[in-house]
Amino acid sequence: MGEFFITLFLFVSVAAITFVIFSSWAVVLAFKGIGRLFGNLLADSGRANQKCANQICGQVNPPTAQFCRRCGRALRPRFV
């Protein structure tokens, strides 16, 4: 009967260790996901309309634009 309890104890402890490792991994993964989500939100909110650097033009372009709509001048790169 003693052997059964030892086996049960070992099984439970292994299961507990596995659970702890898995839950900590899941928490780390969740935090990483949340961080990425917030990073994206901040990056999106940080994007404002881009005014053309050309003094004569001065066209206001959308945040995603890489080149000026009016004069075709290259705007600031998207990857800042």
Residues at the contact surface with Zn ion, assessed by CB under 5 A: 52, 54, 57, 59, 68, 70-71, 73
Using DSSP's 3-state secondary structure scheme, residue 21 falls into helix
CB of 59 to Zn ion, least distance (A): 4
**Which C-beta is closer to Zn ion: that of 6 or that of 56?**
56
CB of 67 to Zn ion, least distance (A): 8
**Which C-beta is closer to Zn ion: that of 65 or that of 73?**
73
Handedness of CA 21, 27, 31, 33 (dihedral sign): positive
> Rounded to an integer, what distance in angstroms lies between the CA atom of residue 80 and that of residue 78?
6
